Structure 1
Amino acid sequence: MGQPLRVGVVGVGAISGQYLSTFARLEAVRLVAVADLDEARAAAVAAEQGVRALTVDELTTDPEVDLVLNLTIPAAHAEIALQAIAAGKAVYGEKPLAATLEDARTVLEAGRAAGVRVGCAPDTVLGTGVQTARKAIDDGAIGEPVAATATMMYPGPERWHPNPDFYYQPGGGPLLDMGPYYVTTLVTLLGPVVSVLGAASHTRSTRTIGSGPRQGTVIPVDADTHVTGVLRHESGVLSTLVMSFDSVATRASEIEVHGLTGSLVVPDPNRFDGDVQLHELGGAWRTLPPSAGYRDAARGYGVADLATTPPGVPARANGDIAYHVLDIMTALLASADSGTLVTVESTCDRPAPVPLSDAPVRPGRGSA
């Protein structure tokens, strides 16, 4: 205890910049090394950050690294995580926990056997947006919750992403790509899910890249691109989920939660902040001031939260939640394929709420 958690990053693509910018202002973590299959890119980022550039094998076994931050593509999540765990490192990965439920289970079991922590994005649920909504629900502002909706509809990432291929391969699609933000938020607000009923469509067999050096390149689509379904929470609440890469836009609220005496609009779950709006029975819409969550949070706060969580206490962005969310999403796809109700085999505890506070800055080695 008393020292920052030393972090090595594997995968320094586009998303890594957000983590590195956050780490620069967090006292609980310290970047010590980076690695990437593109060694030149790793060297450039290392020089910019003033840290070492290593190979992946070197980083996952380096004695100066306490936690491996895994920012690789989903297909590589399990491989890198298992390599780090085998070396006695804690791991924190981008979502999803792994490309398949079997691989995700292997990661969690390896982490438990090695006695190291496994964390996973999204950590957006730790910000003031979702946490303020959670506090309102827990405080009874909408009465007994009965239903929720979660909607994400847009044309797809190929219009702006220079290499969108993985979005349309197995393990991709709107549900596994963006669903973790929405499903993790629903679990944070309303608790675990026990069963799902889904439907999905695959409207086009190819997509055309719209920007970057590969503009005009046609890529195959091997994932469902519109997924919808109903999630039954353990509490009895029914959540309706719509995730689509086949639409232009929507005016629907990202997430709404409805209770017997009120309704709540939850801000974009891909953000850490945003306005929470409450409409009480007989009243009118009003915006709630932030009342919970980390202020000014950004990607990487989940790592800092893990670093400052005492041993034996679950970190808030933990692997069990990420596994349950992946279980929900794969069950939804299985239901869409079979046309039947599917039971979600796993469960998880709701993470501890985040009191209204600034960054988790207590130096520590909570990951060990």
Structure 2
Amino acid sequence: MGEPHRIGIVGLGVISRVYRDTLAAHPGVRVTAVADLDAARAVAVAAELPGARAVGVGELLAAPDVDTVLNLTVPAAHADIALGAIAHGKDVYGEKPLAATFPAAQGVMEAATAAGTTVGCAPDTVLGTGLQTARWAIDTGGIGRPQFATAVMITPGHERWHPHPDFYYTAGGGPLLDMGPYYITALVHLLGPVTAVIGAAGRLRDERVIGSGPRAGRTIPVEVDTHVSGVLEHAGGALTTLTTSFDGLATAATPIEVHGETGSLAVPDPNRFDGPVRIFTDGAREWRTLPAAAGYADGERGVGLLDFATTGPGEEPRAGGHLALHVSEVMSALLTSAAEGRRIRLTTTTRRPAPVPLTAADRWRGRPGTS
């Protein structure tokens, strides 16, 4: 099997715990270094990972025993960390989004191309059995040629539960940039890249009230639109109607539905790895649930990085940077379209990532004795 793929983690917040658990159990990878703005936190995390050491960010980016930098910093720092890793000839895999803005995401990919390094990016939830089984159903003709889709994400706003929700309502926030990567990435897996968009947006109120934590009852300003809708035109001809909102109390809508010439498909929440995939075909009397037919079973965050680390030379990772760049432009174009009132053609495209064969949890976790 060769030497383990060596990973350095930058950013040790809450999400890093799931990544560390996934990576620590796999024999094909090894965390060699960790870094965080809180040096004490880095020391504590390093103590939990055999063979890892706590270092400064600059030292980690230059470390000779780091093959890939796992970038788990806040979105505003994603581009800077990625560019630093690339400048030292390292591959980089980051949490979504690829960068805080589309121009910054372009800069990351241009630097990686020039340096000959590879970029990967979450979400990797789309590699689980939920989305991949839905894709399998489409690819095997289960609903005929896809005609259109709907994608719906509606919540009353994160201030109800988040003690410090301010960033959701300032530049770079809002429902589209927060949750859009999950839905749009899923739609590209299902229906292919987007060629043009039309967007519309608005906001329910100009202030929000924090509902929990030490600042409960305080108001915060809303500086971005909190309801964004749009139509995505896919290269294959299908149309998607997308709704992302912080302005609704609840919804009974299926997260994603795909409707074809001979059937309809109900797709589970793309923020999860699994969930029921239901199909209704011409002549049927009711929906039926499909058994898992593809994807990483019992997926956890970090499976995309494992997939990334085993991608062959010259191959695009399933959770790859070109896909993340395309998703970034889709979101940027929707917001621009909403502001300017015009249809916008995209400048980027991407291939549909390779489908994931049905893979048992023990196998993708690299446990001995599994097939």
Structure 2 length-normalised TM: 0.94
Residue 366 of structure 1: aligned partner: none
Residue 118 of structure 1: aligned partner: 119
Select the residue among 338, 342, 345 that pairs with 2:344. 342
SS, match of residue 63 in structure 1: coil
SS, match of residue 15 in structure 1: helix
Structure 1 length-normalised TM: 0.95
**1:217 Cα deviation after fit:** 3.9
**1:340 Cα deviation after fit:** 1.1
Q: Which amino acid aligns with 2:12?
A: V
1:12 aligns with 2:12: yes
For each residue in 1:166-210, what CA deviation from the matched residue of structure 2 results, as whole angstroms up to 9, or x when unmatched? Answer: 222222211011000000000000000011111001222232332
Residue 37 of structure 1: aligned partner: 37
Q: Is the 8 A contact 1:8 1:68 kept in 2?
A: yes
Q: Is the 8 A contact 2:128 2:298 kept in 1?
A: yes
Q: Distance in 2 between matches of 1:115 and 1:68?
A: 15
Aligned residues: 363
**1:165 Cα deviation after fit:** 2.3
SS, match of residue 41 in structure 2: helix
SS, match of residue 132 in structure 1: helix
Residue 21 of structure 1: aligned partner: 21
CA, structure 1 residues 101+45, in 2 after alignment: closer, same or farther (shift >3 Å)? same
Q: Counterparts of 1:1-368 in structure 2 under 5 Å?
A: 2-50=2-50, 51-283=52-284, 284-358=286-360, 359-360=363-364
CA, structure 1 residues 126+34, in 2 after alignment: closer, same or farther (shift >3 Å)? same
Q: Distance in 2 between matches of 1:28 and 1:315?
A: 17
Q: Which amino acid aligns with 1:289?
A: P
CA, structure 1 residues 214+2, in 2 after alignment: closer, same or farther (shift >3 Å)? farther
Q: Distance in 2 between matches of 1:308 and 1:168?
A: 38
Q: Distance in 1 between matches of 2:261 and 2:298?
A: 32
SS, match of residue 81 in structure 1: helix
Q: Is the 8 A contact 1:193 1:328 kept in 2?
A: yes
Identity among equivalent positions (%) equals 62
Gaps of 5+ in 1: 364-368
Q: Which amino acid aligns with 1:334?
A: T
SS, match of residue 210 in structure 1: coil
CA, structure 1 residues 220+61, in 2 after alignment: closer, same or farther (shift >3 Å)? farther
CA, structure 1 residues 315+200, in 2 after alignment: closer, same or farther (shift >3 Å)? same
Q: CA RMSD in A?
A: 1.5
CA, structure 1 residues 105+128, in 2 after alignment: closer, same or farther (shift >3 Å)? same
